[in-house]
Amino acid sequence: MIQVEQLSKSYRVYQKKEGLGEAIRGLFHREYKTIEAVRGISLDVQAGEFVAFLGPNGAGKTTTLKLLSGVIYPTSGTASVMGYVPWDRNLDYRRRFALVMGQKNQLWWDLPAQESFRLHQQIYAIDSERFHKNLTELTEMLEVGSLLGRPVRELSLGERMKMELIAALLHSPEVLFLDEPTIGLDVIAQRNIQQFLKRYQKERNITILLTSHYMKDISALCQRVVVIAQGTIQYDGSLTGIVDEFSGSKIITLVLGDEQGVQGLERFGEVQRVDHPRVTLKCSRTEVSKVLAEILDRYQVNDIAVEDPPLEEVIAQLFHRVSSGGASS
């Protein structure tokens, strides 16, 4: 569905210096800096995949989505989405994908959302029967039927994002690009959006590429994760694989006996939390079996659990490693 080969995008940015003299000098002699937003990435996405596109701020995520949606032109490389070259901006292609950006609105601020939906009907040439069917289905799934007549500016952030999703899906796109769709939303609104996307993608089998800084979005929706940093792909694989590859630790939770003290547990790893009788340790993945054997030999333990560290922690470690110039996959 999506094929990307050595795609790159660089920008030439004017370097303005401080002061009036430098500003006047800049009128005649300008200094520029080249920013490489995307550096030769290659990526294949199959039909029906729900792929997470992760990376720190400035990594190139949004630039990549803009390239794939045809908003901007690449510096070099090729891309094909459903057989179309995105930046050719073919009308047939534009009717078959949608782009939703959490920080940008596509709805008219002072008009009710239903008026913007009517406009989308005309833009995408959706016949009346299909339009009403899709609108009814989407409003029921998102439970916003009673809000269609209210001006968009009077809606909460979560309600506006639901309306943005409806506008993007009215023409039944085959590919959906989502750029931080849950940014700024509270926990309940995030969960509602997650449940809707999961259900919609499963029922329609559309291809979705999602960027998000909320790891709960990723763990709830995506099986495949692509990590981009400094304009290049650092990891492409399963969600469980990213924990195995980039986390060198395990979390051990112990429930000690009522009379059992916690002295000496620090020798087995980093004691993260003590809430007697529950104790949480962090130790090396390679030492888990040895540590468990020694703890069970020396302490009275009523219960024990071994888990991977939180996904947020693993991703943060990966980002830090990349930004500091460490090796990556």
Say if residues 115 and 108 touch (Cβ distance below 8 Å).
Answer: yes
Residue range 75-98, pLDDT digits in tens: 999 999 999 999 999 999 999 999
Q: What proportions of the chain, in percent to the nearest 5, are helix, strand and coil?
A: 40, 30, 30
**Domains of the chain, with CATH numbers?**
46-66+84-243 (3.40.50.300), 248-307 (3.30.70)
How confident is the model at residue 329, as a pLDDT? 44
For the chain, the C-alpha Rg in angstroms (whole number) is 25
Whole-prediction pTM: 0.80
Task: Cite the beta strand spans of the chain per DSSP E.
Answer: 2-14, 32-45, 50-54, 76-81, 97-101, 175-179, 207-211, 224-229, 232-238, 249-256, 270-275, 278-284, 301-307
d(CA 249, CA 97): 41
How confident is the model at residue 325, as a pLDDT? 61
How confident is the model at residue 16, as a pLDDT? 79
Task: Cite the beta strand spans of 17-96 per DSSP E.
Answer: 32-45, 50-54, 76-81
d(CA 168, CA 182): 15
Question: Nearest 5°: CA angle at 173, between 153 and 69?
Answer: 80
d(CA 278, CA 251): 13
Say if residues 158 and 194 touch (Cβ distance below 8 Å).
Answer: no
pLDDT tens per residue across all 329 residues of the chain? 999 999 999 988 877 778 888 778 877 888 888 888 899 999 999 999 999 988 887 788 889 999 999 999 999 999 999 999 999 999 999 999 999 987 778 888 899 999 999 999 999 999 999 999 999 999 999 999 899 999 999 999 889 999 999 999 999 999 999 998 888 888 888 888 999 999 999 999 999 999 887 888 888 888 899 988 888 888 888 887 877 777 778 888 998 887 778 788 888 888 888 888 888 988 888 888 888 998 888 888 889 998 888 777 777 777 777 666 654 44
Which tokens in the block code for residue 173? 């796109």
